[in-house]
Amino acid sequence: EKLEQIIYNTQKVKNFAVIYLVDITEVPDFNKMYELYDPCTVMFFFRNKHIMIDLGTGNNNKINWTMEDKQEMIDIVETVYRGARKGRGLVVSPKDYSTKYRY
């Protein structure tokens, strides 16, 4: 059921992104490099290059908290895509998450 929801929601960003689900126990090579230890982490890559995003949290490498609003996530994916296409390795999130969530 969760996988069906993920597939349904990927249709909303299919013009900007391809979403891959990766089991870090199956592919442990990047765990240390990207500090992958949270239950769920979202990272962005464009043409095999890691794209960082300034979310106001101090961690520009990934999103590792639950995002409740689907439209916020869609906006972030769109922003990363547009910035990456312009050659930026660091893009600024459309919203500051520094005080909204606890880490």
Q: Answer for the pair 53, 76: CB distance below 8 angstroms, yes or no.
A: yes
The pLDDT assigned to 5 comes to 63
Q: Answer for the pair 24, 36: CB distance below 8 angstroms, yes or no.
A: yes
Q: Answer for the pair 101, 65: CB distance below 8 angstroms, yes or no.
A: yes
Residues of the chain below pLDDT 70: 1-9, 100-103
Q: How far apart are CA 85 and CA 103, in angstroms?
A: 30
pTM, two decimals, is 0.80
Walk me through the domains of the chain, giving residue ranges and CATH numbers. 2-92 (3.40.30.10)
The pLDDT assigned to 13 comes to 82
